[in-house]
Amino acid sequence: MISRLAVEDLAIERGERRLFAHLGLELAGGEAVALTGANGAGKTSLLRAIAGFIRPVCGQIGFAGPRGPLDADEARRSDLHLVGHQDGLKSGRIAREELLFQAGWTGASEAAALAAAERLGLGRVLRLAVRHLSAGQRRRLALARLIASPRSLWLLDEPLAPLDSQHRALFGELMAAHLDGGGLVLAAVHDPLPIAARTVELGA
Amino acid sequence: MSALALLFRRELALAWSGGGGPLLALGFYATIIGLLPFAGPPPERLAGVASGIVWVILALATLLSIERMFERDFEDGALDLLMLGRTPTEAVAAVKCLAHWIAVGVPLALAAPLAAISLGAAPAMAPMILATGLAGGLAFAFVGGLGAALAIGSRRGGLIIAVIVLPLLTPAVLFGGDALYALGVGAPWQSGLLLLIAYALAAAAVCPFAAAAACRNAAS
């Protein structure tokens, strides 16, 4: 279980352009960080680097559990959720099928997945095709796997952007519960998170 | 349900839904076979090469539907999710190729004897055409999957895949064609078929590793 994320002296380049360098970031269990910065400052790239998709030019990304450092690849595959701009939902498939696949793929049972959808207020839209959902409903469907399959580190890219105020508050409660359980949240945002969070600004 | 079984079921469902991959491939196959007699050769000459021709067209029909294998998951972000499960990306690639073979390759292989006989091949060739279609289809699916992974993110992916993959399929076409020709003239055909099966199994063993590396490259 990941209980600490440490980013040291990180530099990332995308297409010959250096997004940032000498970035340090520490995140401990129970803590949330709101990652801010202008468009193109490298918020998404930082999240993808932590998830292991982008190889940094230099610097280290380390994961630690209660009993010491963890193997990064193993920690990423078993204890990390990444919900990006793209929700990974197939528009031609039924919402319920996609929910069960996304949640099941990350280790959740069918019952847990359906309960998570219920919690996010999706009970009535699960029988619809994904292409008939609104942007907010699609996002909640993608977020449901966070609730269905417990993983410690949540990497969220603009998680609240398409949500209405009622569901922003609801997702705030779910994030708070996750933090209470010792989880970690790192979210790239433009609007403030609905929970107490430390702010780290990229490109400041 | 295990994650791999879950992925396998999803891949089959995706192959059959929206655009009907197998039906489209079968339709393409039937259209080309239907055009051939109009191309001019006298029927007896066409009958002589029918079994070989249907076999090569099978490769093309497989490639037609393989383009979307990784691309659709890349476009909508599902590839990230697939690479962040407990299952190694190599296994993801292998399951995708295997599901494509079941969904598209097997129906095409079942159609191949019918197509060959309709062009005038001897009905006695049917079991061999089916066998080479099944084994060759396995090779096409795995090598095609590698091509699809390499073409992630490129427009005109279908053409790129054909250019990358068709040369790699030369041994399969050679071995399978050899087995068909040998059976047709009454020579020993076993070596051709066994070499084809060996090629298909080698492709199934190697291609998932290369495809997974291509996925990692595309996601970075």
User: Looking at residue B20, what is its pLDDT?
Assistant: 60
If pLDDT is split at 50, 70 and 90, which confidence band does A204 have?
Answer: low
Mean pLDDT of B202-208: 96
| Cross-strand bridge partners of residue A17 | A14
A81-104 per-position pLDDT tens digit: 999 888 899 988 999 999 999 999
Q: Give dist(CA B125, CA B128) in Å, integer.
A: 6
Residue with the bigger pLDDT between B143 and B160: it is B143
Question: Among residues B68, B59, B60, B87, which one has the least CA distance to residue B20?
Answer: B68
User: Which residue intervals of B76-169 are DSSP H helices?
Assistant: 78-83, 89-100, 106-118, 126-150, 157-168
In tens, the pLDDT along A33-71 reads 999 988 888 899 999 999 999 999 999 999 999 998 999
The answer to whether A160 and A189 have CB atoms below 8 angstroms apart is yes
**Is A93 in contact with B78 (Cβ distance < 8 A)?**
no
- Residue among B76, B85, B219 minimizing CB distance to A53: B219
Name the pLDDT band for B50 (thresholds 50, 70, 90). confident
Does residue B14 belong to the interface with chain A, where contact is any CB pair within 8 Å?
yes
- Average the pLDDT over B173-202 and give the result: 91
pLDDT tens-digit series, residues A113-122: 999 999 999 9
* Interface probe, candidates A73, A76, A86, chain B, greatest B C-beta count within 10 A: A86
Parallel, antiparallel or unpaired: strands A153-157 and A80-83? parallel
Summarize the confidence of residues A123-147 as an average pLDDT: 93
* ∠ CA B199-B204-B208, rounded to 5°: 135
- How does strand A184-188 pair with strand A153-157? parallel
Residue B2 touches partner A, C-beta closer than 8 Å: no
Position of tokens 């060739």? B125
Residues of A in contact with B81 (CB under 8 A): 82, 88, 102, 105-106
**DSSP designation for B123:** G
Which of A59, A129, A46, A47 has its CA nearest to residue A95?
A: A129
Q: What is the pLDDT of residue B19?
A: 58
Mean pLDDT confidence for B166-194: 90
Q: Which helix (H) or strand (E) covers residue B192, if one does?
A: helix B190-219
For residues B65 and A160, which has the higher predicted lDDT (pLDDT)? A160
Chain B residues close to A54, C-beta within 8 Å: 220
Q: At what angle do helices B126-150 and B89-100 cross, to 10 degrees?
A: 140
Residue A135 contacts by C-beta under 8 Å, 6 or more apart in sequence? A162
Residue labelled with tokens 């962040």 = B84
Tokens of B161: 């895949």
Tokens of B212: 């997974």
Question: Contacts of residue A85 in chain B, CB cutoff 8 Å?
Answer: 77
Q: How far off is chain B from A88, nearest CA to CA, in Å? A: 4
Whole-angstrom Cα distance, residue B57 to residue B71? 23
CA–CA dist B25, B64 (Å, integer)? 7
- For chain B, how many residues are written? 220
Count of all residues that appear for chain A in the document: 204
User: Which residues 76-135 in chain A show a CB within 8 A of chain B?
Assistant: 76-78, 80-82, 84-93, 97, 101-102, 104-107
Q: For residue range B61-92, list pLDDT tens digits in order.
A: 888 778 888 988 998 899 999 999 889 999 99
* Percent of chain A clearing pLDDT 90 (strictly above): 70
Taking 70 as the threshold, does the pLDDT of residue A150 lie above it?
yes
Q: B8-35 pLDDT, tens per residue? A: 999 998 888 765 678 888 888 888 888 8
Give the residue with greater pLDDT, B41 vs A198: A198
Say whether B17 and A92 touch across the interface (CB within 8 A). Answer: yes
